[in-house]
A and B are shown apart, each in its own frame.
Chain A
Amino acid sequence: MKPEELPTFFKRTGDPVPSGSEIRGFLFDITEEEEGVGLWIRTPDRRMIFLRDPAFRPSVLMEASGSALRNVSTRLSRMDPFLSRRKERWKDLFTGEEHDMTALVFSRPRAFRDFLACLPSLSRLPVRFFNADIDVSMRYLCQNRIHPLSFVHIEKEGDTVLGIHPDPDRDFPEETLESAEIFLDGNRIVLSDGRDERMFLDTGFSLLRHLADWIRGHNIDVLYSRGGDRRIFPGLLAELSHRFLPDAAPFYGRPFVLSGRWHLDRSTSFFLKESFLSGLIEIARFSFVDFQTLARCTAGGAISSAQIAYALQNGIRIPFAKEKTEGFSSGLEFLQKDRGGMVMVPRAGVYENVTEIDFSSLYPALMVHRNISPETVNCACCPENRVPESPHHLCLKRRGLVPDVLEPILKRRLSLKKECSEPPAGTDHDRAKKRQTALKWILVVCFGYLGYKNARFGNVESHEAVTAWGRASLLAAREILESRNLPVRHAIVDSLWFEGIDSPDPGGNGRLSVVKSAIRERTGIPIEVEGIYSWIVFLPRKGSTLLGSANRYFGRMRDGRTKIRGIAARQWGTPPFIRTIQEDLLERMGLCERASDVRAALPELLEAVRVRLRDLRDRRVPLADLCLSERLHRSPETYQRASPAVVAAQKEGLAFRKRQTGTVSYWISGRGESYPGDRVVPSRGDELPMVDLGDYETLAIDAVLEILGPFCPDPESLRKRLKNADPSKIRSAGKRRSGNLFPSWS
């Protein structure tokens, strides 16, 4: 037994194959077999049938001169004696022209894997490979135009597949899946299916056999884990390998996938973390990757696989190495094109009756609406279709690959969003929400992928065309608003804040709806209303009283919701004590319908803060609530400035490898200390926790001023009022290095 075969210990045994020449069910899993591929079909009556398709042969495309072609074919024939060649015609993405290509067809998936292993060395020969590094299961799915989990109708003979046809309208019934969770309790493995929980006390093969028996006995479809890929299974298998296969390569670093059932690791699956199983199933509708690989994909990997599948299905060849680059630009053109989204800086202050609107998925929608794709930018045929304020132009004659891939995803997300806001009877609102969240991530990354160096279908010029149209759309929206006497106060890339509308327009016939449809008509992008603020505060930039900060604001909406961005309460590393002060203040301010009401409530708000500060001075705040956290992106010794976080990390002895990040938590023990090491105490370490109450009071007052300052003509007077609340206490508490005297220390 080889280490690669160890996961097959958990392989499912399929239910007996029913007689008859056809079978219907959901395509649950696809596996590489010695001959062709294996299909796991889950029938509507919950049986799992295993079928084989031995006729499937993976192939790659090659473009080379006669001698080079013969040379490569001879080398590959040693790997696969039954390798065959055939002529095919494939299109080039950028020119749209058809080319004669030689397809090398491998007789077995394993021979194809061997080819992939030596592909880097082969690509040094005068040969260009296309459609090369694409997974076998993905090729099969693309060739048959089926998604994982889609409902299929299979023609068969015995357990051999003769034909497979998708039926895209049926949704996979996720509620019928049997699932279990595997986790570590200390160093013991525990398996639980919600009703039955078992801890395994044995080790080695005996443990492996018992685990497999339990999973088989409970007929588990989905095995969730936390750290299964990195810790649980590799640890288990490494122990076995060490004992029985001392020369085998270690198993660490490979995903642990099962056959006929899924292993989904919550710690390595982005989509599972963000949108649960429902979101993952939704992504499967647009991708052509087998489900367990998809669960481990990033959002970029998912969109990339959808693009590759589109190319394969439309006869577009996919180069092994990306070569397309931008053209030469003059310095002036470069300054003009290399720009991002537009930000209009607000004037800092308090505003009333402000409406916030957003373009719905602005960048992906622009790619679809304006036909922005690597092959449509700067085409030879349409120089008249200029991108505004940019040296680029876009094709009008040819539809791009990227817009074609994105369009169904955008439409599906819009329909799911509608389902979320107006759920039809009998639908699961929560599931629709999870599904639309998963699609949101796909749409978020598709713009970045357009300019990403490793994206197969990316080009920095198309990336620039998107931002140029984004800026033009924002300016158009502003022009429409201001022509209707609705002054714009702030705008960031795809959102605008404007004054002048004071009713939410429930009937959909009012001023707001008119404005929305006017913007949509002009830009082609749908508009969503985020909300109407009773009052909103744009906070000033550091060191300025006039200029607002683009991403620090908070406000109260007419429906009572509050929205905060960029303030201390929203920042990850803020001590819980200070976060609570801000959240409490915002909750109280949320009751005030007008800015003048907030001003009138200032004495009451300050009193609430004084109570909190008194708790601090009287040492009734747990130490854990005073702990600051910060993320470091480099090893502490590489920083030039000894910031508190860096000093804490140095004291803690943190050291990172290249590209590694780490977090550090610490208490402030005296910002004024002359020796930097005395200024902070790391939370993980042997040092006794010490805090400087005076410093924490200053931090707390700063956080209060951040919120209340804009409502007060002289914010510094608030500081004085809070500072001088109880001078005797402050003096005694301000004594440095107060020690671990907190009675409620935890």
Chain B
Amino acid sequence: MSWHPGRTRVFPEESDPWTRQRTRPLDSRSAVVFFREVRRFLLEGGRTYWIAGEGGIAPDPLLLVSSREQSPEHWRELLGRVRIRRGFTKDQLRSILGDLSSRIASETVPCLLLFSGFEPSENLSPGDSKRLHQEIRRLFGETDPERCRLFLLQAADPRFIADTADGDGGVLPEAPAPSSKEGTMGKSVSTFREQVEQEEKSWRPFRKGLSRAEQDVLDRLFETSRLYVHAGGEMSGQTHPFNVLLLSVILDLSRRIEALEEERSRRP
């Protein structure tokens, strides 16, 4: 296993509780680099466990895969290597950590453990957060780094938007804003509509290269695709949103062609 996260290790505080090295919270730029490293780890056959408490970076699996660099089959395969579990209270998180520890003991492939939402928040008191950190350290602190690596994720700005194009031409999906006024009760994954909108955003460089008239046509194509997002949602987790977007555009065009043909046949 040649995966080395290097300087992208991200920890909740100024210093890493294990190594006491200075680190920094996750902002849009470091998020892009960090999640690209995680993708690389998955590509090399590793497995990622993401344990999420309430109030931190929401556990969106789409943050860990990119649309451009893999085929749809590959995309599915990578998502299959991700394991996610959410806990909403300190007791739930503690019980999840116990389960995780027994899972890791039986894993045969290298594992990456991501913990988000463990920082003090409206849901976790500083004391509970500290106890959970100690529990993580007790359970996983001694594991062989070649077998299992840990990352505690904390966003510098919890509403960070990682839409800076990465070096490979891929764009990270927009992270759903977790810090609403009432905490993060609700969805973890961005809705299918948001995924399609994100996909549309990722084609901005292509759009820039088109003429004004062509840009209008492209905008209309994307707009028509949104008429079918409810159907696309039914394909969630089965194919990449771009495939649905493409099929929706073809569907709408065929529908319009049929309508035109029907109109023409009715004309004398």
The chain A residues found within 8 Å of chain B, CB to CB, are 321-336, 338-340, 342-345, 347, 389, 451-454, 460, 471, 491, 544, 546-547, 633-634, 659, 661
Contact = CB atoms under 8 A, between A and B. Distances in A.
A325 B92 contact: yes
Contacts of B189: 334-335, 338-339
Nearest to A633: B181
Contacts of B83: 328-331
Given A331-B64, A453-B185, A323 B91 contact: yes
B80 A331 contact: yes
B85 A325 contact: yes
B40 interface: no
Contacts of B81: 330-331
B92 A345 contact: no
Nearest to A337: B237
B233 A339 contact: yes
22 contacts: A321-B89, A323-B92, A325-B96, A328-B83, A330-B80, A331-B61, A331-B82, A334-B59, A334-B188, A335-B61, A335-B79, A335-B237, A336-B237, A339-B189, A340-B187, A344-B230, A345-B229, A347-B227, A460-B88, A471-B233, A547-B227, A634-B181
Given A325-B92, A334-B59, A335-B61, A342 B84 contact: no
B218 to A, nearest CB: 14
At the interface, is chain A mostly helix, strand, loop or mixed?
Answer: loop
Contacts, number: 116
B9 interface: no
Interface string B34-48: 000000000000000
B59 A332 contact: no
A509 to B, nearest CB: 33
Contacts of B49: 328
Contact of B237 (A328, A334, A547): A334
Contacts of B85: 325-329
B89 A460 contact: no
B230 A345 contact: yes
Contact of A333 (B65, B99, B123, B237): B237
Nearest to A455: B88
A79 B43 CA distance: 61
Interface of B: 49, 54, 59, 61-62, 64-65, 76, 78-89, 91-92, 95-96, 99, 103, 122-123, 181-182, 185, 187-189, 191-192, 220, 223-224, 226-227, 229-230, 233-234, 236-238
B88 A453 contact: yes
B59 to A, nearest CB: 7
B40 to A, nearest CB: 16
Given A328-B103, A331-B237, 5 more contacts: A328-B49, A328-B99, A331-B61, A334-B188, A339-B191
Given A329-B85, A332-B79, A453-B88, A339 B223 contact: no
A453 B89 CA distance: 7
Given A322-B92, A328-B85, A452-B185, A342 B233 contact: yes
Nearest to A658: B122
B103 A331 contact: no
B238 A336 contact: yes
Nearest to A336: B237
A338 B192 CA distance: 11
Nearest to B226: A547
A349 to B, nearest CB: 13
B226 A345 contact: yes
B54 to A, nearest CB: 7
A331 B234 contact: no
A634 B229 CA distance: 33
A-B CB proximity, top 8 nearest: A453-B88, A331-B61, A331-B79, A335-B237, A331-B82, A336-B237, A633-B181, A332-B237
